[in-house]
């Protein structure tokens, strides 16, 4: 596989990652959201494997496998179980309406391209064009956390942000050292467990996972 | 092996820290802990008196660089006549109060653990000693904070009462605002001494050898004056004093009022005369004006109080004012190159520092003895204690005479010296000073008169007459340890008043060090008998002659009354034919201060109400009359309330940021990231 083909495939996968990010931004059903998240993980994993193959960095295969097992299988499964147990299949309400969210998202993508323009000119890596997408994914994840009211969607937004960071790492420097990636993966896993436990507690305390209702925790004057 | 004074003083500080450890070990044996720790503390204090006294008497200056400190910034200690003098003052009162505490703190045994009191007491003493010994900005500020924090815990010792916690909090806030100002002031001085790029300007030596541009020096002076004034309780920063002193245990109030305030005086002298050295005259005018205002306002507020310890606390404001008058005059004379007069004014100021420590310590110890015996702070509920507590009454009376500046006790000498500084001052080339100096002398005279009135009230209402309280109380004289502490303080008051020439000769090294001119040669021209501050034809005072004159009159009067039988006979009071007179119908504190309340009423926020009781059948025949009087500090409403409200307003506005919604917080970080990326990307 020559470099230009790899770069094209990689760009295509980046586009798919961005597409799933936008999909998550507008998806209102909980299960749909989790499926999109799993898809994003899959694209990420494939992209990492291709980068690893092209650049000859074999530790990226391990990263790719980790991504596959964690973000495509395990985390969606945990979230699935969680939603099933807590019976929260209903539609996700957003704070800001969907078209506006989309417009902000598009704005963020353009902003990311603008920001990474100097890096793209300097870099010689195959993956240089995907850095903007990675940054946009991070920001869209954060945007998703801001615009959604449900605690579970906020967690998915957080995980999507992490996907974006991972993507940025592979596209900017061919991935972080393996030790760091292992650590991050473990962190994510632990975080997911902790979130799960907390959701149960929040659910029993507030009878809801709507973060708006948690505003009454604020100390009033 | 002989220790030099500075080694002795440092060893005492170390010893006090060891007592802290010992107190922790003896925590379970409270009855043993008390005498052991306090007698060790008194021994350590006595040793510092020796060290400080020697340093002043010999005019020694010693420096030590300590092995500990921040990396590359070791701590410096220095004992020169100025710090030696303050070391003596602090150590002397700490010695008396430590002995007194052995008896006083016993009152807490069985009610609560006194370990924390002992621990913070020792830390407090150590902090004060270190403040005057320190020779760089770092250790100064560290000691300053140790002192402030330890005294906070001492004020809040009886923490179950809301009043105590509030007072301690107020004290903490004022102390810290002041400490920040001092920190900034040292920052300016250190930065200018060696340039802002270097850290080595933090030693006082570096500041001493530097030349400061006048505007920066002024900034540093104003900051430090603000900071030290907050600690000293200069009007209008005095509000914490009348709150914190009454609620602290009395031995602590004695130390706080007697010597802790003096560390602020030390700071002012150290920064102006020693570190900055060259200053324009109007700095002195500022100090003088604040001193005058504090003196007059302090005594007027004191007159309105009927809580004995609160009254004494306001008198500390007054006396700090008198000390500042001396220092302000010294600064003015120094900048006009009048070294002899400057030495006179400075001597007056620091002599009053020593005197105030002694008599205010004595008075707080006396108030503590009264409190210990009656469990009452309100004077209106006391009376006739002279029969029940004769020792305390006599000792308290000595304190009253001293603070009222009456001969032959010590207060008179220092106030007289301050007057001499006013009266001897030539006409200075400034219209403000031409006005200020005569007016200052008049105000000082007014202050002295009002203070005397105030202590007639304090002593008269507390110790004379009959018991005014609603419920009879079993009052017994205090124990020997407390009496011993007070007796020594009272004797010191007398000695300082009778032999002023010797004292001035001893402390002459301080003005020599700071101004380059002393008073010792002129003051002691005629030996210890006569005090002639500048020249004998201008003014002279003989402590011993006045003392023996007064003593002979007192002895003669006593003999006339007591030797002849029948010269004294006791009879019921003439009740104007009313017949139903009772003990509540005595002249009391409120009625005593009424004329002054009428004259100076505009300075206070006075609310006075007279209400007939509801069961009154007719206005002409009231069954009962309720009299309600509330006198409050105007400064609270003028200065503090707006600040408090403004800070609450700001906090509420800032509190809006805290929405309680996760999304809002996320938006903050999101916007921050975007902004950073835009501007730094």
pLDDT tens per residue across span B309-333:
999 999 999 999 999 999 999 999 9
Cβ-Cβ pairs closer than 8 A, A with B, add up to 41
Q: A111 to chain B: which residues are within 8 Å by CB?
A: 674, 677
Å between A148 CA and nearest CA of chain B: 8
Please give the residue of chain B at the shortest CA–CA distance from A95.
B663
CB contact under 8 A, A145 and B663: yes
The beta-carbon neighbor of A215 closest among B659, B673, B681 is B659
Please give the residue of chain A at the shortest CA–CA distance from B666.
A146
Å between B675 CA and nearest CA of chain A: 12
Of the candidates B134, B169, B195, which is a domain's last residue?
Answer: B195
**Inter-residue contact B588 to B461 (CB < 8 Å):** yes
Contacts of residue A200, Cβ cutoff 8 Å, sequence gap at least 6: A85, A86
- How far is Cα B364 from Cα B413, in angstroms, rounded to an integer? 21
Q: Tell which residue, B301, B303, B307, has the closest CA to residue B382.
A: B307
Is residue A46 assigned to a domain? yes
pLDDT above 60 for A220: no
Q: What is the pLDDT of residues B396-445, one digit of tens each?
A: 999 999 999 988 899 999 999 999 888 888 777 788 888 888 889 999 99
HEC sequence for B647-659: HHHHHHHHHCCCC
- How far is Cα A1 from Cα B22, in angstroms, rounded to an integer? 80
pLDDT of residue B286: 93
CB contact under 8 A, A145 and B652: no
Is residue B355 assigned to a domain? no
CB contact under 8 A, A212 and B681: no
Give B72's pLDDT tier (boundaries 50, 70, 90).
confident
Is residue A177 assigned to a domain? yes
pLDDT above 60 for A120: yes
Of the candidates B156, B176, B195, which is a domain's last residue?
Answer: B195
Peptide bond connecting A51 to the previous residue in cis, omega within 30 degrees of 0: no
pLDDT of residue A194: 81
The beta-carbon neighbor of B666 closest among A142, A214, A218 is A142
Span B35-43, average pLDDT: 92
Q: B660 to chain A: which residues are within 8 Å by CB?
A: 214-218
CB contact under 8 A, B663 and A146: yes
The beta-carbon neighbor of B662 closest among A115, A211, A219 is A211
Give B565's pLDDT tier (boundaries 50, 70, 90).
confident
CB contact under 8 A, B666 and A217: no
Q: What is the pLDDT of residues B592-610, one digit of tens each?
A: 888 888 888 888 888 888 8
* Through-space distance between the first and last CA atoms of chain A, rounded to whole angstroms: 66
Interface of A with B in 147-166 (CB under 8 A): 147, 149, 154
% of chain B exceeding 70 in pLDDT: 99
**Inter-residue contact B420 to B437 (CB < 8 Å):** no
- A134-148, B192-206, B643-657: least confident range: B192-206
pLDDT of residue A221: 47
Helix (H) or strand (E) holding B116: helix B115-133
Interface of A with B in 119-148 (CB under 8 A): 139, 142-143, 145-147
Is residue B155 assigned to a domain? yes
Query: Taking the CA of residue B144 as centre, how many other CA atoms within 13 Å lie in the half-sphere pointing to its CB?
Result: 29
Q: Tell which residue, B504, B311, B514, B507, has the closest CA to residue B416.
A: B504
CB contact under 8 A, B659 and A154: no
Helix, strand, coil % in chain B, rounded to nearest 5 = 70, 5, 25
CB contact under 8 A, B660 and A149: no
Is residue A64 assigned to a domain? yes
Name the H helices within chain A.
3-26, 30-55, 59-67, 75-86, 98-122, 131-147, 151-173, 178-206
- How far is Cα B137 from Cα B187, in angstroms, rounded to an integer? 9
Give B472's pLDDT tier (boundaries 50, 70, 90).
low
Is residue A164 assigned to a domain? yes
CB contact under 8 A, A216 and B660: yes
- How far is Cα B545 from Cα B530, in angstroms, rounded to an integer? 9
Is residue A117 assigned to a domain? yes
CB contact under 8 A, B660 and A214: yes
Peptide bond connecting B236 to the previous residue in cis, omega within 30 degrees of 0: yes
Q: B674 to chain A: which residues are within 8 Å by CB?
A: 111, 139
Å between B673 CA and nearest CA of chain A: 9
Q: Specify burial of residue B431 (Cβ count, 10 A radius: 0-12, 13-18, 19+).
A: exposed
Mutate to test the interface with A, among B661, B664, B674 (most CBs of A within 10 A): B661
A26 touches chain B (CB under 8 A): no
**Which domain range does residue B163 map to?**
1-195
**How many domains does chain B contain in total?**
2
The beta-carbon neighbor of A218 closest among B652, B659, B669 is B659
Is residue A220 assigned to a domain? no
Q: What is the pLDDT of residues B488-516, one digit of tens each?
A: 999 999 999 999 888 998 988 999 888 88
**How many domains does chain A contain in total?**
1
Give A173's pLDDT tier (boundaries 50, 70, 90).
confident
A95 touches chain B (CB under 8 A): yes
- How far is Cα A94 from Cα B291, in angstroms, rounded to an integer? 66
- How far is Cα A134 from Cα B351, in angstroms, rounded to an integer? 76
Q: What mean pLDDT, rounded, does chain B reach?
A: 88
Q: B673 to chain A: which residues are within 8 Å by CB?
A: 139, 142
Å between B650 CA and nearest CA of chain A: 13
A64-69: which pairs have CB atoms within 8 A and are 24 or more residues apart? A66/A181, A66/A182, A66/A185, A67/A41, A67/A166, A67/A185, A68/A41, A68/A42
Higher pLDDT, B482 or B194: B482
Is residue B176 assigned to a domain? yes
Give B369's pLDDT tier (boundaries 50, 70, 90).
very high
Q: What is the pLDDT of residues B187-235, one digit of tens each?
A: 999 888 887 777 788 888 888 888 888 889 999 999 999 999 999 989 8
Please give the residue of chain B at the shortest CA–CA distance from A216.
B660
Å between B671 CA and nearest CA of chain A: 10
- Rounded to 10 deg, the angle between the B662-680 and A98-122 helix axes is 30
Å between A42 CA and nearest CA of chain B: 27
The beta-carbon neighbor of B661 closest among A111, A115, A212 is A212
Higher pLDDT, A212 or B423: B423
Give B288's pLDDT tier (boundaries 50, 70, 90).
very high
Span B150-177, average pLDDT: 90
- How far is Cα B513 from Cα B76, in angstroms, rounded to an integer? 19
- A157-171, A199-213, B105-119: least confident range: A199-213
Instruction: Print burial letters for B453-467: b (CB count within 10 Å at least 16), e (below 16).
Output: bbbebbbbbbbbbeb
Of the candidates B140, B171, B195, which is a domain's last residue?
Answer: B195
Please give the residue of chain B at the shortest CA–CA distance from A142.
B670
CB contact under 8 A, A143 and B670: yes
Higher pLDDT, A93 or B467: B467
CB contact under 8 A, B663 and A95: yes
CB contact under 8 A, A145 and B658: no
pLDDT of residue A3: 76
**Inter-residue contact B93 to B255 (CB < 8 Å):** yes
pLDDT above 60 for A219: no
| Total residue length of chain B | 681
The beta-carbon neighbor of B660 closest among A111, A139, A218 is A218
Is residue B668 assigned to a domain? yes
Is residue A221 assigned to a domain? no
Q: What is the pLDDT of residues A45-99, one digit of tens each?
A: 998 888 888 888 788 888 888 888 888 898 889 888 888 887 776 666 666 778 8
A100 touches chain B (CB under 8 A): no
pLDDT of residue A126: 67
The beta-carbon neighbor of B666 closest among A145, A214, A218 is A145
Give A217's pLDDT tier (boundaries 50, 70, 90).
low
Mutate to test the interface with A, among B648, B652, B662 (most CBs of A within 10 A): B662
Residues from B in contact with A at Cβ < 8 Å? 652, 655, 658-663, 666-667, 669-670, 673-674, 677, 681
CA angle, corner B12, sides to B10 and B15, nearest 5?
115
Name the H helices within B524-661.
543-563, 589-599, 634-635, 641-655
pLDDT of residue A79: 85
* Through-space distance between the first and last CA atoms of chain B, rounded to whole angstroms: 69
- How far is Cα B33 from Cα B200, in angstroms, rounded to an integer? 43
A111 touches chain B (CB under 8 A): yes
The beta-carbon neighbor of A146 closest among B658, B666, B681 is B666
- How far is Cα A153 from Cα B179, in angstroms, rounded to an integer? 49
**Which domain range does residue A194 map to?**
3-214
**Inter-residue contact B155 to B167 (CB < 8 Å):** yes
């Amino acid at each position: 596989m020559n470099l230009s083909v790899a770069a094209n495939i990689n760009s295509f996968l980046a586009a798919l990652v961005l597409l799933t990010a936008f999909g998550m931004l507008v998806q209102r059903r909980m299960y749909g959201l989790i499926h999109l998240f799993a898809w994003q993980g899959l694209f990420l994993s494939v992209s990492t494997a291709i980068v690893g193959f092209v650049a000859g960095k074999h530790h990226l295969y391990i990263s790719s496998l980790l991504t596959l097992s964690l973000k495509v299988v395990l985390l969606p499964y945990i979230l699935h179980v969680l939603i099933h147990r807590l019976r929260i299949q209903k539609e996700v309400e957003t704070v800001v309406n969907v078209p506006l969210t989309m417009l902000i998202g598009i704005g963020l993508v353009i902003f990311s391209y603008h920001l990474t323009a100097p890096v793209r000119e300097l870099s010689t890596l195959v993956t240089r064009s995907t850095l903007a997408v990675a940054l946009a994914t991070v920001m869209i994840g954060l945007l998703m956390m801001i615009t959604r009211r449900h605690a579970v969607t906020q967690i998915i937004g957080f995980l999507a942000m992490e996907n974006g960071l991972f993507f940025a790492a592979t596209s900017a420097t061919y991935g972080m050292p393996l030790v760091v990636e292992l650590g991050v993966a473990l962190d994510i896993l632990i975080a997911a467990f902790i979130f799960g436990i907390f959701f149960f507690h929040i659910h029993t305390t507030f009878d809801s996972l709507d973060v708006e209702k948690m505003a009454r925790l604020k100390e009033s004057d | 092996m002989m220790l030099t004074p500075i080694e002795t003083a440092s060893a005492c500080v170390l010893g006090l820290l060891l007592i802290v450890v010992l107190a922790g070990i003896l925590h379970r044996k409270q009855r043993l802990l008390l005498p052991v720790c306090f007698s060790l503390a008194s021994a350590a204090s006595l040793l510092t008196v020796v060290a400080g006294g020697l340093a002043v008497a010999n005019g020694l200056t010693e420096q030590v660089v300590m092995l500990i400190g921040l990396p590359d910034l070791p701590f410096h200690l220095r004992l020169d006549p100025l710090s030696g003098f303050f070391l003596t003052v602090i150590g002397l009162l700490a010695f008396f109060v430590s002995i007194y505490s052995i008896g006083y703190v016993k009152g807490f045994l069985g009610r609560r653990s006194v370990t924390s009191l002992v621990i913070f007491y020792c830390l407090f003493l150590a902090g004060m000693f270190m403040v005057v010994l320190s020779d760089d900005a770092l250790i100064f500020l560290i000691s300053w904070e140790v002192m402030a924090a330890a005294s906070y815990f001492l004020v809040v010792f009886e923490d179950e009462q809301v009043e105590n916690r509030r007072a301690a909090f107020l004290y903490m806030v004022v102390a810290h605002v002041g400490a920040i100002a001092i920190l900034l002031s040292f920052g300016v001085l250190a930065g200018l001494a060696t340039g802002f790029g270097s850290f080595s300007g933090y030693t006082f030596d570096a500041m001493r050898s530097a030349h400061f541009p006048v505007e920066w020096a002024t900034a540093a002076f104003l900051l430090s004056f603000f900071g030290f004034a907050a600690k000293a309780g200069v009007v209008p920063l005095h509000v914490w004093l009348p709150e914190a002193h009454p609620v602290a245990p009395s031995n602590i109030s004695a130390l706080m009022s007697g010597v802790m305030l003096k560390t602020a005086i030390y700071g002012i002298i150290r920064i102006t005369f020693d570190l900055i050295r060259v200053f324009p005259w109007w700095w002195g005018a500022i100090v003088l004006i604040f001193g005058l205002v504090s003196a007059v306002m302090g005594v007027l507020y004191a007159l309105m109080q009927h809580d004995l310890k609160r009254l004494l606390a306001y008198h500390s404001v007054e006396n700090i004012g008198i000390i500042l008058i001396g220092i302000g005059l010294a600064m003015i004379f120094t900048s006009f190159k009048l070294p002899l007069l400057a030495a006179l004014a400075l001597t007056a100021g620091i002599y009053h520092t020593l005197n105030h420590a002694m008599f205010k310590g004595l008075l707080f110890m006396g108030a503590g003895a009264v409190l210990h015996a009656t469990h009452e702070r309100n004077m209106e509920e006391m009376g006739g204690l002279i029969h029940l507590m004769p020792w305390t009454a006599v000792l308290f009376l000595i304190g009253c005479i001293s603070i009222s500046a009456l001969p032959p006790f010590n207060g008179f000498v220092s106030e007289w010296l301050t007057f001499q500084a006013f009266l001897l001052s030539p006409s200075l080339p400034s219209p403000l000073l031409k006005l200020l100096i005569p007016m200052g002398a008049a105000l000082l005279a007014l202050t002295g008169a009002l203070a005397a009135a105030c202590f007639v009230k304090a002593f008269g209402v507390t110790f004379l007459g009959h018991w005014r309280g609603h419920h009879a109380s079993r009052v017994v004289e205090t124990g020997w340890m407390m009496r011993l502490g007070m007796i020594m303080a009272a004797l010191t008051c007398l000695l300082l008043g009778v032999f002023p020439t010797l004292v001035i000769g001893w402390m002459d090294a301080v003005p020599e060090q700071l101004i380059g001119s002393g008073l010792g040669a002129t003051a002691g021209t005629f030996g210890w008998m006569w005090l002639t501050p500048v020249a004998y034809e201008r003014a002279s005072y003989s402590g011993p002659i006045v003392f023996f004159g007064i003593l002979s009159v007192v002895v003669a009067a006593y003999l006339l009354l007591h030797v002849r039988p029948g010269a004294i006979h006791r009879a019921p009071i003439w009740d104007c034919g009313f017949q139903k007179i009772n003990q509540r119908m005595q002249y009391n504190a409120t009625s005593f201060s009424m004329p002054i309340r009428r004259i100076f009423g505009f300075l206070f926020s006075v609310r006075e109400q007279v209400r007939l009781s509801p069961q009154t059948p007719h206005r002409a025949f009231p069954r009962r009359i309720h009299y309600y009087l509330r006198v409050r500090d105007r400064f609270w409403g003028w200065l503090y309330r707006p600040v408090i409200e403004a800070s609450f307003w700001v906090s509420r506005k800032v509190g809006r940021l805290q929405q309680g919604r996760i999304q809002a917080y996320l938006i903050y970080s999101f916007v921050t990231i975007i902004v950073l990326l835009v501007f730094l990307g």
